[in-house]
Structure 1
Amino acid sequence: MSLSRMLIYVFFLVSGSSFAQTKLQIEGLKGELEKNVNVFLAKYDATEISGSLRFQLSLQQDIETALQALGYYQSEVEFTLSEGAGKATLTVAITPGEPVKINISDIVLIGDATDDPQFNAVLRSQAPEVGDTLHHGKYESLKSELLSLALRKGYFDATFSRSRLEVIPELSQANIHLHFDSGKRYKFGEVTYSGQQIRDKWMQSLIPFEPGQPYLASELGEFNQILANTNWFSAIAIEGATEQIDDYTLPIIVKLEPRLRNSVETGIGYSQEVGPRLKLSWFKPWLNDRGHSLNADLILSGEEQNIEARYKMPLADSPSDFYQFQYGVGVKEYSRQDNVRTKVSNLAAERHWLLESDWYRIASVRWLYEEATEFEQTTTSNILMPGIRFNRLRQSGGQMPRSADRLLFNVEVSDKRWGSGANFVRVRGRAGWIGSVGNSHRFVTRADAGAVIGAAIEDLPPSLRFFAGGDNNLRGYGYESLPLQDESTDVVGGRYMATASVEYQYRVRGNWWLAGFFDYGSAWQDKPEFKRGVGLGVRWASPVGPVRLDFGYGLDSGERKAFKIHFALGPEL
């Protein structure tokens, strides 16, 4: 045989069916073993699979590594290559063999962590015991968890004084020697601020821990959130002064940069009946070294013009609690109701408490003066209402959160005995929830309900009555178009209101989403006539919050043009 023919023969012997499309088939495994082998073999592209000896050797090494990670060191791997017309199948028959069992489990805690319940809980739940099958992933996970927990709880000198894993494949045994020396636990030291513009008394009351308290990383996270919630600072950096450590005490340094003294935000909306709506907000996050702030909103639309200002005064011993005073004036025309126009003045004093459960409790006293012209009759109302409100908002995931929930409950009482113009109790409740499945599916639900108990509907100023319709609660219907005018009493608005909404959103690309929704509800005086609205929408997760464009259809509107366009910018809950 010539040299050239011999080389060609050897080439085909080594390459096997490299010129044919080869299918890989794994046999003999199930459960976790099969999953782990598949993970290791996922790196091979379909074009790389062949029957060559080189590929078989590479495949065998990966399979053995995958099985050893789960404690199987005596596996057997056999290859069978079958060829057909233009196709080939490489069958890999695997016998995992007997697993390696833990013979010695010498796992010891040393140092202050010996009496720490969390470390002992980790060992109880994760430490391998004698007789368990060796699992390298769980062994490494235990080591990582001990080190991570030590860092979170202030055991900064923690180390493994002994870390040895002995595997004896021929005996199917493994010996673990893991000695974790936590050392001493560090304590919080004094907190030093720099760059702050607020008095030290207010700043010290923000610290959620005391000097000498055992270190806990979550306390620093809470501290950072408290500082951010004040809206006083544009930049916050909290770090430990490691060079100043003395007697296992870690001083904390907080570097701050004040926010700009003025900021302006805008919001826009649109509906077919009202036209464009504009909101302009001016915010002074700090007016003085006691952290007082001022916020003003201007709302303009074809039927409503309103301006409102709020002055906030944080308490020195607890800045998350505060007093707030607000005043607003406005003019409103109810475009969906004939001949209705109001002029409103609001003055309120509030006391806010942040409760441990993340709820805000707000006690308030509100004075309302309203001049209303309804069907060519003008009335004035002087209402004085003490009230109590509970509010909670939780969210995660930025301006367009992946998850969020909001709850609000408000009660206001008016009584002629203290000089108010009517006797009634006004109740309002709201709930909202946002959830996500994966990165491309969001669900948004909202519910809103209210009632006025006591006074006759005609004795209530229009701003205290309830309306439904528009982009906030019942799409497919005009803004505050429900209930329809009551011809028997010549009044607008309702004594009761209840609406609910369910919405599904699908990410099309990047920050763009499509939405489908169903809304249900109404406002009424005596007997409800619930309405349904359905539609589609577009969402854009803009840098300043969700932008929503909805095309709604009122199934029960009774109008020839039941199709409505709604546009809004701002939070979904």
Structure 2
Amino acid sequence: MRSFFILLSLLCVVFVSPLRANEVVSLKSIEVPNLPDPITKNIRMYLNPLLNKGIEQISADYVISQAELALSVFGYYEPDVQLQWANEGTALIVQVSLNKQLHWSKVSITLSGAGKQDPLLNKLLESLPLKQGEAVSHQTFDASKKQIEDALLEMGFFDFRWVKSQLRVSKKEAKASAVLHVETGERYQFGQVIVSKSTQAETFVLSLAPFSIGQPYLSAKLSQYSLSLNQTPYFNSVRVYPLLNNRKNGKIDVQVEVVDKPANSYEIGGDSVQILVQKYDSSGVSRGSLMTDIMLIPICLFLKNNEMLQQVIQYLWMTQLQMCGVLTPVIN
């Protein structure tokens, strides 16, 4: 009986130690050795949701199918995937033989509609990374599709639609094809520029627009417009955007929202200049805040050069203040 008890104790040590009975073993790490980094990262992205799950909940068939799905993105449709457990079941090692990579046997990218003959769009199609004979890559397919969409929106083809967007793979024939066909719709033109009512410089804002009504829409023009407004020293904030939801009759209006800097503050470079505005009557007597027919603006500025003085004069013109006084530059 004593011998049987000793034997039973040894069996318990062999099968239970170092884990206690009924202890749940969780997956703590996943290793994918000897593969290029992009492929390794993609397999890990597919498998990482399994981390911290109990190993009894993890199916080998599921792990292999997820790894194969991650590999198909790069054109590997017939890989060999082997699984190995380590560290008492807390680590999973995924061994992969990539085997043959498929290449595009057919690539068809076509435009229809008003943009079919556009030279810029056709030049873009020629430069896309999706080409016949290249290695199959789902990422390349998606990136090419997005480049087309971005270009259409950039050029004002806001009503485009995909007639066909198809990626087909035949494992049996070891062939892959990609088809992209987009109907561009009409290209919109610039409509009215609508300036926010909060500014006193509407005329000045409109004068900086780098486009006119009826010109073909191009979003780069809006970026240029926004930059030009921001480069002036007159506004605290600038926002320029197309009114997409209000487009009609082939035209799209542009909204410009600017916030003027305070009327008594004007910044030139890193210098802050205070502009003192006082009201006088025709005899030169100060009238305080009372309205008069003549406004004199005596200004005492710390001006460093004539260019700075010219900028101040431009500022005063922009805000449509009537100058009947004297600009007195004081040089330190």
- What is the aligned partner in structure 1 of residue 201 from structure 2? 198
- What is the aligned partner in structure 2 of residue 26 from structure 1? 32
Higher RCO (CA 8 Å, separation ≥ 6 residues) = 2
* 2:200 partner amino acid: Q
The alignment partner of 2:141 has SS state of helix
Answering whether residue 186 of structure 2 is matched by residue 184 of structure 1, we say yes
1:161-180 equivalence runs, <5 A = 161-180=163-182
* 1:231 partner amino acid: P
* 2:110 partner amino acid: V
Q: CA RMSD in A?
A: 4.2
- Equivalent of residue 211 in structure 2, options 200, 209, 212: 209
Answering whether residue 226 of structure 2 is matched by residue 220 of structure 1, we say no
Structure 1 distance, partners of 2:97, 2:277, is: 71
Q: TM-score, normalised by structure 2?
A: 0.67
CA shift at 1:216, angstroms? Answer: 1.1
Cα displacement string for residues 494-542 of structure 1 (whole angstroms, at most 9, x for unaligned residues): xxxxxxxxxxxxxxxxxxxxxxxxxxxxxxxxxxxxxxxxxxxxxxxxx
- Equivalent of residue 67 in structure 2, options 52, 63, 70: 63
CA shift at 1:257, angstroms? Answer: 4.0
CA shift at 1:58, angstroms? Answer: 4.4
The alignment partner of 1:114 has SS state of coil
Structure 2 distance, partners of 1:317, 1:53, is: 75
Q: 1:93 to 1:256 in 2, by over 3 A?
A: closer
Unaligned runs of 5+ in 2: 1-14, 16-20, 279-296, 320-326
Structure 2 distance, partners of 1:285, 1:113, is: 56
* Greater share of residues in helix: 2
- What is the aligned partner in structure 2 of residue 123 from structure 1? 125
CA shift at 1:155, angstroms? Answer: 0.9
CA shift at 1:139, angstroms? Answer: 0.6
CA shift at 1:17, angstroms? Answer: 10
Q: 1:128 to 1:256 in 2, by over 3 A?
A: closer
CA shift at 1:210, angstroms? Answer: 2.2
CA shift at 1:122, angstroms? Answer: 2.9
Cα displacement string for residues 185-219 of structure 1 (whole angstroms, at most 9, x for unaligned residues): 1111232334231363x343211112222111121
Cα displacement string for residues 395-414 of structure 1 (whole angstroms, at most 9, x for unaligned residues): xxxxxxxxxxxxxxxxxxxx
Structure 1 distance, partners of 2:300, 2:158, is: 44
Structure 2 distance, partners of 1:52, 1:286, is: 81
- What is the aligned partner in structure 2 of residue 75 from structure 1? 79
The alignment partner of 2:165 has SS state of strand
* 1:211 partner amino acid: I
The alignment partner of 1:113 has SS state of coil
Structure 2 distance, partners of 1:175, 1:286, is: 72
* 1:59 partner amino acid: V
The alignment partner of 2:146 has SS state of helix
Structure 2 distance, partners of 1:199, 1:93, is: 67
Cα displacement string for residues 236-265 of structure 1 (whole angstroms, at most 9, x for unaligned residues): 443435576454222333344433212499
Q: 1:57 to 1:263 in 2, by over 3 A?
A: farther
Structure 2 distance, partners of 1:213, 1:180, is: 24
CA shift at 1:125, angstroms? Answer: 2.6
- What is the aligned partner in structure 1 of residue 323 from structure 2? none
- Equivalent of residue 155 in structure 2, options 153, 156, 161: 153
Unaligned runs of 5+ in 1: 1-8, 10-14, 266-278, 299-308, 320-324, 331-573
* Greater share of residues in strand: 1
Q: 1:153 to 1:93 in 2, by over 3 A?
A: same
Aligned pairs, number: 279
What is the identity percentage for the equivalent residue pairs of Structure 1 and Structure 2? 22
